[in-house]
Structure formats: C-alpha cells, structure tokens
Amino acid sequence: MPRPRAAFTLIELLVVVVIIGILAAIAIPKFQNTKGKANSAALRSDLRNLAVAEESYYFEQKTYSVDTAALKFRPSPGVIMTIGTTHAGAAWVATATHPLSYPLQCTIYYGETTAPYPNQAEGAAVCQ
C-alpha cells in the first residue's frame, strides 16, 4: 500500500523557483521603464510650474529670479533644479534633472535669450 505524499519534492520546488525567476526577469525591465517615464513627467511638470511661478514673479517685480524661495516654488522630491537669469533679469533658463533618470535632462527658457537646444520654442520643456 503506497504512502500518501506529505510534501512537494525538491524538483517540483526548483521548477517553481525557476518559473518565478523567469517572470521576474521579464517584469523588472518593464517596471524600470515605467519609473523612468514617471521621472520624466515629474521633470516636465516641475518646469511648467516653475514657468508659472517665474512669470508671476516677473509680473510683480519686473525681473526674473533664481531664488526658488522668492518664487514660492518647491520642486518634486528628487528633482534637482538649476535656474539662471540673463540680460539683467529679462530672461531665464532652467534645467531639471533627477538622479534616477540620469542622463535625462529637461530645459525650458523664457525671454530674449538663445535657445538651449536647436529649434526649441520659448516656454517649451525639452528633454534629452
């Protein structure tokens, strides 16, 4: 009379572990791509919000600012902003990066200055 099985065999467990490993190898790159897109969206959104804050500040002060505290602007967590003004405060250029989406860098500009990238329109956030 055969004994009833009380547990899985080692081979059965190894097959399940291998299948889970294959599924994880397929899913992880898809997840990384989604995270990169989310970081890119955060960079673009922060640059648009910065543009609104800069234009509001310019309306009140007749000059642009590089101080985010004066602009009452706070970027998203992890986003690193670099803001520069040119032509005595009559134009500004901002660059946003995120450590998890390196080397992606997004740039926007307003005012009478040279576009950071060829064919970039004023006020358009361009990522490269």
pLDDT digits (tens, 9 = 90+) for 83-126: 988 877 788 999 999 988 878 899 999 988 888 888 889 999 99
The model carries a pTM of 0.75
Give phi and psi for 36, each to the nearest 5.
-65, -40
Please list, residue by residue across 40-65, b when 16 or more beta carbons sit within 10 angstroms of its beta carbon and e when fewer do: bebbbbbbeebbebbeebbeeeeebb
Of 76, 77, 81, 75, the residue nearest 105 (C-alpha): 81
Query: Which sign, positive or negative, has the C-alpha torsion 66, 80, 77, 103?
Result: positive
pLDDT digits (tens, 9 = 90+) for 34-55: 888 888 899 999 999 999 999 9
